[in-house]
Amino acid sequence: MTDLNEMTDVNAFSEDDLNFDDLNLDQLDDDIEPAQDSATSPFIPYDEVPSRDINFFKKIPVTVTLEVSSTEVSLGELMKAGEGSVIELDKLNGEPLDVKVNGSLMGHAEVVVVNDKYGLRLIDIVDSPLNSVES
């Protein structure tokens, strides 16, 4: 069994990446008034919550994936596949590819090559709550 102190994660960000100065926690106590009735919920209605600086959240890493296509096959068909087998996918040649962020569809793109590495050129962005977040 591995000791938790020995475990490292190359994708984790360090303490230096966290900048709590952007949060302005002192303002939090001044802006929020306690609930008038203790029987009511301790949460403030969404429309009464003061706006916050979101720069802290912009530093959180996410995984961007470009999905070429997919298909469903039975396990039996997959077990018959061998070297040189072709499995037909559900996208047509030339169709835009799906861009996913942490597994959720963000939009569509095409493949490009930049400095001998694959990249993607966004074609469109799917409506998402993130689109309405202020920059």
Sign of CA dihedral 63, 69, 74, 77: negative
Q: pTM of the predicted model, to two decimals?
A: 0.51
Query: Which of 16-25, 51-60, 91-100: highest mean pLDDT?
Result: 91-100
- Cα-based distances in Å from 14 to 21, 22, 46: 16, 17, 32
Spatial separation of the C-alpha atoms in residues 48 and 31, rounded to whole Å? 10
User: Percent of the chain having pLDDT more than 70?
Assistant: 57
Burial of 106 (0-12, 13-18, 19+ CB in 10 A): buried
Structural domain that includes position 46: 4-132
- Contact between 101 and 63 (Cβ < 8 Å): yes
Instruction: Give residue 58's pLDDT.
Output: 85
- Residue pair 89/68 in contact (Cβ under 8 Å)? The answer is yes
User: Under DSSP, is residue 67 helix (H, G, I), strand (E, B) or coil?
Assistant: strand
For the record, the structure tokens of 48 come out as: 């009464």
pLDDT winner (highest mean) among 21-35, 45-59, 89-103: 89-103
pLDDT tens track for 50-83: 667 778 888 899 999 999 999 999 999 999 999 9
The CATH number of residue 127's host domain is 2.30.330.10
Domain total of the chain:
1
